[in-house]
């Protein structure tokens, strides 16, 4: 177990280092001169030179990368070019809104999706299989922002039950959470359905059935346990795609979270802010995957010796 843990930690650390390198390279090859972004296009050369010196933009690249890493190690993500405020503070302000949206929609989508998957898998036969496949395929093909807009039209404009967007109480949360939960629901329903039907068809389940295990016990005790182990992995991998969905959903509903922050930063060419939000999401994904790896080691004894 200790060896497994050490390997996982090492891997996560090296991925994180790689991410910082990619972001550093991207940030340094952006054509816009940071000094110009800060001082504006009409600034005189002396001011620009002073800002460049201040930011250390004249130093060799490895030195700059080292300084970037040093700052990161101390929780310093740099300062926004536009507002001059700390990127870490800006992220901290927006994080609760994103967390609220992401956790709510994941919880709803996951619970409903697993439920639907179990129900459809219990109903064996190729018609149920085809139904689940086609329904999830079509549903997952509809762009998130289109789903969001349709919900706004129906519940906001036509029925006038819910606000069109913005941040506030539960009423503001319902539509964006439903938009994201829609995707999660289909995603987990498909996975659970495929996984459980696969397990039900396996030899040990057939043996148990031949021995006269009642159908419900067969389903719950034999098929489900094994079928649901990989779902833990999926939950970890899903965090990355959930973040992508969050960006679009926040834009549709004008939800003041990290996604809006990143998109707005792109339009103002606020590079440290863009890089900061992306790095933050990457850390989040890595942390979730690490937790999943550890859980997996606990759930499935085979992993510890792998």
Question: Taking CB under 8 A as the rule, does residue 87 contact another protein?
Answer: no
The DSSP symbol for 44 reads -
The whole-angstrom separation of Cα 32 and Cα 274 is: 14
Binding span for another protein by CB under 8 A among 45-53, 61-69, 141-149, 296-304: 141-149
Binding footprint of another protein, residue count (CB under 8 A): 59
Residues of this chain, 26-55, that bind another protein according to CB under 8 A: 26, 29-31
Task: Report the candidate in 286, 281, 282, 289 with the shortest Cα–Cα distance to residue 258.
Answer: 281
Out of 13, 103, 146, 214, the only residue in the binding site for another protein (CB under 8 A) is 146
CB of 244 to another protein, least distance (A): 4
The whole-angstrom separation of Cα 215 and Cα 230 is: 23
Residues 6+ apart with CB under 8 A from 117: 132, 188, 189, 190, 191, 192, 193, 195, 196
Out of 7, 14, 166, 298, the only residue in the binding site for another protein (CB under 8 A) is 14
Question: Taking CB under 8 A as the rule, does residue 120 contact another protein?
Answer: no
CB of 217 to another protein, least distance (A): 26
Question: Taking CB under 8 A as the rule, does residue 254 contact another protein?
Answer: no
The whole-angstrom separation of Cα 282 and Cα 284 is: 5
Out of 10, 124, 153, 207, the only residue in the binding site for another protein (CB under 8 A) is 153
What residues form DSSP beta bridges with 79? 86
Out of 24, 196, 277, 293, the only residue in the binding site for another protein (CB under 8 A) is 277
Question: Taking CB under 8 A as the rule, does residue 61 contact another protein?
Answer: no
The whole-angstrom separation of Cα 193 and Cα 120 is: 7
The whole-angstrom separation of Cα 73 and Cα 70 is: 5
* Exposure on the CB side of residue 142, measured as CA atoms within 13 A: 18
Question: Taking CB under 8 A as the rule, does residue 227 contact another protein?
Answer: no
Out of 3, 18, 40, 96, the only residue in the binding site for another protein (CB under 8 A) is 18
The whole-angstrom separation of Cα 200 and Cα 44 is: 73
The whole-angstrom separation of Cα 216 and Cα 123 is: 12
The whole-angstrom separation of Cα 204 and Cα 210 is: 10
The residue behind tokens 């085809």 is 130
Question: Taking CB under 8 A as the rule, does residue 149 contact another protein?
Answer: yes
CB of 242 to another protein, least distance (A): 8
CB of 44 to another protein, least distance (A): 27
Contact assessment for residue 190 and residue 120, using Cβ atoms and an 8 Å cutoff: no
Binding span for another protein by CB under 8 A among 95-103, 115-123, 271-279, 291-299: 271-279
Binding mask 154-173 for another protein (x = CB under 8 A): ---x----------------
Task: Report the candidate in 276, 294, 306 with the shortest Cα–Cα distance to residue 24.
Answer: 276
Chain positions contacting another protein, by CB under 8 A: 11, 14-15, 18-19, 22-23, 26, 29-31, 126, 130, 133-134, 137-138, 140-146, 149-150, 152-153, 157, 190-191, 194-195, 198, 234, 237, 240-241, 243-244, 247-248, 251-252, 262-263, 266-267, 269, 271, 274-275, 277-278, 281-282, 285-286, 289
């Amino acid at each position: 177990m200790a060896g497994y843990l050490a390997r996982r930690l090492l891997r996560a650390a090296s991925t994180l280092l790689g991410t910082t390198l990619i972001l550093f390279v991207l940030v340094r090859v952006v054509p816009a001169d940071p000094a110009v972004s800060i001082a504006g296009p009409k600034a005189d050369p002396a001011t620009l030179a002073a800002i460049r010196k201040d930011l250390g933009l004249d130093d060799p690249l490895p030195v700059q990368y080292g300084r970037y890493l040093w700052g990161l190690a101390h929780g310093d993500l740099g300062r926004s070019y536009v507002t001059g405020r700390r990127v870490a503070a800006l992220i901290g302000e927006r994080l609760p809104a994103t967390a609220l949206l992401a956790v709510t929609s994941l919880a709803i989508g996951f619970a409903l999706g697993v439920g639907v998957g179990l129900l459809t898998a219990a109903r064996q036969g190729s018609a149920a299989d085809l139904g689940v496949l086609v329904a999830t395929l079509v549903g997952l093909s509809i762009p998130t922002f289109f789903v969001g807009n349709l919900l706004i039209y129906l519940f906001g404009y036509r029925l006038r039950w819910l606000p069109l967007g913005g941040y506030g109480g539960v009423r503001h949360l319902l539509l964006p959470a439903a938009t994201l939960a829609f995707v999660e629901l289909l995603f987990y329903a498909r996975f659970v359905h495929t996984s459980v039907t696969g397990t039900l068809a396996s030899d040990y389940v057939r043996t148990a059935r031949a021995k006269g295990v009642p159908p419900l016990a067969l389903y719950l005790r034999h098929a489900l346990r094994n079928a649901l182990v990989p779902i833990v992995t999926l939950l970890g991998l899903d965090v990355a795609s959930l973040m992508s969905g969050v960006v679009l959903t926040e834009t549709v509903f004008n939800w003041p979270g990290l996604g809006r922050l990143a998109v707005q930063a792109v339009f103002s060419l606020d590079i440290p802010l863009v890089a900061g939000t992306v790095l933050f999401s990457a850390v989040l994904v890595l942390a979730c995957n690490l937790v999943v790896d550890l859980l997996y080691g606990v759930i499935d004894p085979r992993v510890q010796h792998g």
